[in-house]
Every structure is written in structure tokens, then in C-alpha cells.
Copies of this chain bind each other. A is one copy, B any other.
Amino acid sequence: MIMLDLQSETPIYMQLKNKIIEGIASKQLNPGDPLPSVRNLAQDLGINMHTVNKAYQLLKQDGIIHIHRQKGVVINPDGMPEADDSYVTLLKEQLRPLLSESICRGMGEEEILSYCKGIMEEIKKGGDKT
């Protein structure tokens, strides 16, 4: 069951999008797997239908899920989109301030990389950690 933090400064629709992506990264969700309807998921999570729809629309734009008008929502059966140049550029822009502050606070390069490694292991093992 997906857990959301309604008190977080991270928007709900963004948390939901991230949870689904993390589910795919951990192989708890695989290509072709169905996702709940916007109304069902909204009710299960106790949030609004449009909030779920917003997350789904973003995932659809990125090619991570497919939405068939009345058939439902599924993880892209053809697999995930590639990490192309535009994605890598965006990734770097988002990583940079995080790494900057870590260095700023005296963390060593190996220490930071070690944390990244640890997080990636957690993700692959499907650790919720929340």
C-alpha cells in the first residue's frame, strides 16, 4: 500500500509519481502491470481524483505508463523510456545543489557516493524505509 505524507512540502501528486517510479525501479511493478483507476486509487489514498490524475498525466507524458481510454492504466508494456540527453541534463541540474551542500558541509566525495550507493541498494531491494 502506498503511503503518502500529507504534511510534506512535496506535493501529493509528486509523491505519488515518485512512489510509482520507485515501484518500477524495485521491480515491484513491471511492464504491462495494471494500475488502479484514478477514482479507486484516490479513494484508497483518501485524496482527490484530480490529484491522482495529475500524477498519471505526468507519468504518461514521460512514457512511463500507458492510458487506454476505457481499458485502464498500465505500466508501459514496451519498457521504460531511455535516459536521453535531455533527461541527463535535468538530472544533473537537480543533483548539483544537493551535492554542493553536502560538500559545503564537509562530506567527502567517497562518503557522498557511498550514500548514493546505499540508497540505490535500498531501492532495488524495494525498501520503503518510510
Which residues of A approach B to under 8 Å, CB–CB?
18, 21-22, 24-25, 64, 80-83, 87-88, 91-92, 94-107, 109, 112-113, 115-117, 119-120, 122-124
Interface residues of chain A: helix, strand, loop or mixed (majority): helix
Q: A83-B107, A113-B117, A116-B112 are in contact. Are A95 and B98 (CB under 8 A)?
A: yes
How many copies are assembled? 2
Nearest CB of chain B from residue A68's CB, rounded to whole Å: 21
Asked if residues B100 and A88 are in contact (CB atoms below 8 Å), the reply is no
14 A/B residue pairs, CB under 8 Å, sorted by A: A18-B97, A18-B100, A25-B101, A83-B106, A91-B98, A91-B115, A92-B115, A92-B119, A96-B119, A103-B120, A103-B123, A109-B117, A112-B116, A112-B120
